[in-house]
A and B are shown apart, each in its own frame.
Chain A
Amino acid sequence: MTEKAVAVGTIVHEISSISQAVQYAVDLIKKKNLKTLACPGLDPKDREILLDLCKSSGLNLLEEPLRNHASSLDTALTWVDYGIAETGTLMLASDSEEIRIATMLASIHIAMLPISKIRQDTSAIEADLNDILKNDSPSYTAFITGPSRTADIERVLAIGVHGPVELHLLLIKDIQP
C-alpha cells in the first residue's frame, strides 16, 4: 500500500494513535503557514482534542456547514474507509457534503486509515461498494489516488490543479475508527 501510494505522490506515515494524527495535522498546518482546518466525520471527543490543539496553536478549526468557509478552507482531516493496495487508492464514502467539500476544496487532505482496512485490489472491495450502490438511497463514493493532477499543458505532469495539492495518508496501527 505504502509503496504504491508513494509512487503516485501520496505522503505516507505510520502512526499508532488518533492523537498522533491530530498532532500531525496541526504541525503540518503550522509548517505550511496555513490557518484553517476542517475535520468532518471526526468523533466528537477527537474533535475536542483537535480544537484544543488548534486554539493553543492559533489555528482555526472550521465549523460546519463548510460551504460557508469554502474560500478559506486550507486543510482537511478525515477518515477514509478502505485502502486499495494494488494502486495506493483510498476509498471514501462521501455522501456527506461536508466530507466532499473538505476533501475537494482543501489544498491539503490528510486521510486517516486503520491498517486493518487495507485490501489487496478493487475486487476485494467490490462487494462492499456494491452494497452501497444497490441501496436505494443516494450515495457519493470516491476512489482517491494521490493528489489532484493534470498533464493538459504539453503533457507535463502538474500537481494540484483543482483538488488537493497534497494528499497525506496516516496509516494507523490496530485501532478502529
Chain B
Amino acid sequence: MIKTAQDMKSYKKLLDQALNDSFLRSALDEFNTAYRENRPNVYKDLDFNSIRDALAENKDSLIPFLEILYEEFKLNAEKAGTTVHRAKDAREANEIIARIARENKVQKIIKSKTMTAEETFLNDFLEEQGFMVTETDLGEWIIQLRHEGPSHMVMPAIHLSRYQVGDLFEEQTHSKVDDENIDKLVKVARHVLRPRFLDADMGVTGANFAIADSGTLGLVTNEGNMRLCTTLPRVHVALVGFDKLVSDLGSALGILKVLPRNATGQAITSYVTWIKGANQCLNTSSQKKQMHVIFLDNGRLSLSKDPVFHTALRCIRCGACANVCPIYAKVGGHKYGHVYIGAIGLILTLFYHGKENDRAIVKNCINCQACKEVCPVAIDLPHLIKKTYARVIKEDGKTPVKNFLLAKVMKNRKLFHFILRKAYLAQQPLTKGKPMIRHLPSFLEKTHGFRSLPVIVKTPLRDQWQTLSPKLENPSLTIALFAGCAMDFIYPNHGKDLLTLLKNANIQVDFPMNQTCCGLPAMMAAEEKTARTLARQNIHAFEGEQYDYILTLCASCASHLTHNYEKIFRETRGPARDLELFTNKIIDFSSFMDKVFKFPQTSQVIHKKVAYHAPCHLCRGLHVTNEPRALIKKAGYTYVPSKDEDVCCGFGGSYSVDFPEISSEILTKKLDNVEASGADILVTDCPGCVMQLSGGMDKRQSHVKVLHLVELLAGKK
C-alpha cells in the first residue's frame, strides 16, 4: 500500500531516506543523463515541436466532448459484443470488475500493466474479495511481490537493483537464481508466470487509446504479456480513463508516433494491439470471449471542464516528465508522487487522490521547465504545479507563514527594500568583512551550509544609478534596466560592468526607480495575488518613457516578465495593451549583447577555458542557447563543453531554502561536471545561478571561478 507524506516533516524524512539510497541515486542519475542524451537521436527524423503542437491541439479538441466520445465508443463497441460500463470513482470501478469476476466464476486473475488500476488500487480490492491476482508485466510483478506502488509510470521497478530482484525471485522459486545476469532473471519471470497465464480465468488490462468511431482499444506494449492476458483467459476487462478516448484511428496513430519515442526511446514498441469486441475464445461454450470495457471518471470529467486544469487531461502517460526532472533523479518516484509520479503526478494527485496526498509533494518543484520542454502534448507542467499548489493551500484553508509574509512585504516595495537594507546590517556578524558568508550559525549549517551565501551590499545599485549613468544628449538607443532584486541588492557590480561594456556606444540606460521584484518568488510560492500586484507595479514603473528595450541580466526575471505576466493577466483579464508594450520589449543580456549591441569578435586570445551553465529560464524559458556561447568565444576565451550543461543548478530561488538537501545534491553534480571539463572559469547569465554556483565553488574551495557573463565580457578573469 502506498503511503505518501501528508506534511513537510514526514516528507523530509522520506526524502532523506531516498537521498541515502546509493543504488537509487546512481541509477536515476544515469537514467536522467542517458535519456536526455539519446533524445536527439530518437527524434532525428521528426519535427518534435510541430508534432507536439498538433497533438495538443487534437487533445484539446476532444477534451470538452469526452461524454459524447464515450457514447460513440459504447455504441460501436457493443455492436461487436463488448459490454461498456462507466464508473464515477475508483470504488465503483473496482466493484464492477469484482462483479464481472463473480458472475463469470473467476478465481484467478492476471493483469497487464495499467496505471488506471494502480489509481483505483484494484489489486488490493480484488484480493480482499478473495481473488488471486497476478501482475504479469515484469516490473509490475516485481513491485507486487514487494507490496509497493510503481516508482515510474513506464518502468515501475526502476528503483530496484538486479540483486534486490534476485532476492525476490529466490523467494518465489525457492531456488538459487543468478542475480548478476539480468537475462536469466527475466527468464525466471517467463517460466514462473507462463503457467499463470494458462490457468487464468480473467485478464485485466488498461488501454492507451479508446477509439470512439470504431469502439476499438489500442494497447502499446513491449513484453507480450498483455497479448497473453487478452487471449488466454475467457474474460477480458479493460479499465480505461475517460481521457484515453480519441475520435478516430488517425488520432491514435498520431499519439503513437511520440508515445514510445518519449517513453522509452523506441520508434515503436514491440507490440501495438488493436482490440475490438468479443474475440474468439475456443475454451468457452460460445467460443467468444467475455469482453468488458470500464471507463473511469474519478474526477476526469470535472477536470475536463476546468478552465485551467483541463490541459492535464492531455497527458498520454509517457513518463518523460520524470525522466528529465532533476529532482526525480535524486529522490525517485516513491518520493515524487503518490500513484502518478513526476511532474504530472504532482498535479493529478490532487484531483485523483486528494489534497492530503499532494500537500507535501506539490511543493517539490524547482520550476526548471525541463518537463515542459519534453512533454509531447505541451502541458505547461511547472505552471500547473504552482496552480495546483495554490489550490491545495486554498482547500486547506490555511495560509502558510511564508505566503503571509510574502504578501505583507512584497506588495509594498518601499517596505521590501527597507527590509533588504536592514538585512545588510543584520548580516554583519556573519560576513566578517568578507564578500561571502562561509559559515552559518550551527543550527543552520548542517542543512543549509552546502554553499557560501552572498552578502547584501551596503548601497544597492538603484542608489548609485544617477551618478553611474548620466543622461545622454542624443542617444542612439534608450534602454531601461530591469535590475531584479539580486543585481540591485547583491550584485550591483554586474550593473557597473554593463555600463562599462556599453560605454562609448551612445546608449542611454535608465533605471526606473519604481521597479520592484519581478514576482517570480511569489508565483513559486503560489502567492498569486502578490505576483499579480508586483506585475502591475512593474508594468507601471516602465510606462511613460519611450524605451527601445527593457534589458535584464537575470534569466529568471526575463522569462517571468515575458511569459508569466501574460499568464497572470490572461487568467484575470488584466491590462492587455500595457502588458504587450511591456513584455515585447523585454530582452535578456546575451540576446542583447549578441543581436542588438553586436559584441565584436576580439582578435585577442585569452588562454583560459570557460565552461557555461545554461540557466533554466534562458535555455528553456526563452530558448536562448547559441548567443551566450558565441559571446564567450567572441571575447577571446576557449569555450569548453561540460556534461549536463542545461540541467538546473539546484537554485530555484526559495527552493534551495525549502529543500536544501536536494538543492545541494543537484549542485554537487553540476559542479563535478564543470570541474571535470577542465574549465578555469564557469560563466552563466543569471544572478540566481551565479549565487548558487559561486556559493558551491567557494565552499569546496575550487579553483574554478564563477562569473556572470557580463563580468567576463567586461574583462574580468
Contact = CB atoms under 8 A, between A and B. Distances in A.
B80 A136 contact: yes
Interface string A65-94: 101001100000000000000110100000
Nearest to A125: B253
B75 to A, nearest CB: 11
A152 B183 contact: no
Contact of A104 (B139, B182, B187, B228): B228
Interface stretch (B153-161, B401-409, B566-574, B575-583): B153-161
A71 B12 CA distance: 50
Contact of A122 (B137, B253, B264): B253
Given A149-B222, A150-B223, A153-B165, A141 B279 contact: no
Contacts of A143: 268, 271-273
B142 interface: yes
Contacts of B232: 67, 70, 101
A104 B231 contact: yes
Interface string A112-153: 000000000011001001101110111111111111111111
A139 B277 contact: yes
A144 B222 CA distance: 9
A28 interface: no
B509 interface: no
Interface stretch (B3-11, B188-196, B510-518, B635-643): B188-196
B250 interface: yes
B384 interface: no
Interface residues of B, number: 70
B274 A148 contact: no
B249 A129 contact: yes
Nearest to B256: A122
Given A139-B274, A151-B155, A87 B161 contact: no
A119 to B, nearest CB: 13
Interface string B66-88: 00000000001001110000000
B274 A136 contact: no
B270 interface: yes
A138 B80 CA distance: 5
Residues of B contacting A: mostly: mixed
Interface in B368-393: none
A163 B271 contact: yes
B227 A151 contact: no
B185 interface: yes
B486 to A, nearest CB: 39
Contacts of A146: 270
B359 interface: no
Interface in A19-70: 65, 67, 70
Interface string B652-686: 00000000000000000000000000000000000
Interface stretch (B210-218, B350-358, B542-550, B584-592): B210-218
A141 B392 CA distance: 44
A162 B264 contact: no
Given A138-B81, A152-B155, A154-B162, A162 B279 contact: no
A70 B195 CA distance: 10
Contact of B182 (A89, A134, A153): A153
Contacts of A158: 182-183, 185-186
B136 A162 contact: yes
A123 B224 CA distance: 24
B228 A140 contact: no
A71 B279 contact: no
B318 to A, nearest CB: 15
A65 B187 CA distance: 27
A96 B287 CA distance: 11
B425 to A, nearest CB: 53
Contact of B275 (A140, A153, A155): A140
A162 B156 contact: no
B260 to A, nearest CB: 9
Contacts of B270: 8, 144-149, 163
A105 interface: yes
A67 B222 CA distance: 23
B182 A138 contact: no
A61 B696 CA distance: 70
A80 B99 CA distance: 38
A61 B187 CA distance: 26
A8 B218 CA distance: 21
Contacts of B223: 148-150, 152, 161-163
Given A97-B231, A156-B182, A134 B138 contact: no
Contacts of A150: 138-139, 186, 222-223
Nearest to A104: B227
A176 to B, nearest CB: 24
Contacts of B227: 100, 104, 142, 162-163
Given A153-B138, A156-B182, A162 B165 contact: no
Given A71-B198, A122-B253, A152-B137, A141 B186 contact: no
B424 to A, nearest CB: 50
A145 B268 contact: yes
B278 A153 contact: no
Contacts of A123: 253
Contacts of B142: 152-153
A152 B112 CA distance: 14
A134 B214 contact: yes
A2 to B, nearest CB: 15
Contacts of A163: 223-225, 227-228, 270-271
A174 interface: no
A123 to B, nearest CB: 7
B267 interface: yes
A143 B227 CA distance: 11
A148 B136 CA distance: 14
B472 interface: no
A136 B79 contact: yes
Contacts of A65: 282
B279 A95 contact: yes
Contacts of A89: 268, 272
Nearest to A157: B182
B228 A105 contact: yes
A21 to B, nearest CB: 23
B19 interface: no
B224 A97 contact: no
A97 B268 contact: no
5 smallest A-B Cβ distances: which pairs?
A163-B224, A138-B277, A152-B139, A148-B224, A133-B214
Interface of A: 4, 8, 65, 67, 70-71, 86-87, 89, 95-97, 100-101, 104-105, 122-123, 126, 129-130, 132-134, 136-156, 158-164
Given A139-B80, A148-B270, A162-B225, 8 more contacts: A89-B272, A133-B274, A145-B268, A145-B270, A153-B185, A155-B31, A162-B136, A163-B223
6 contacts: A87-B268, A133-B276, A150-B138, A151-B155, A152-B137, A160-B186
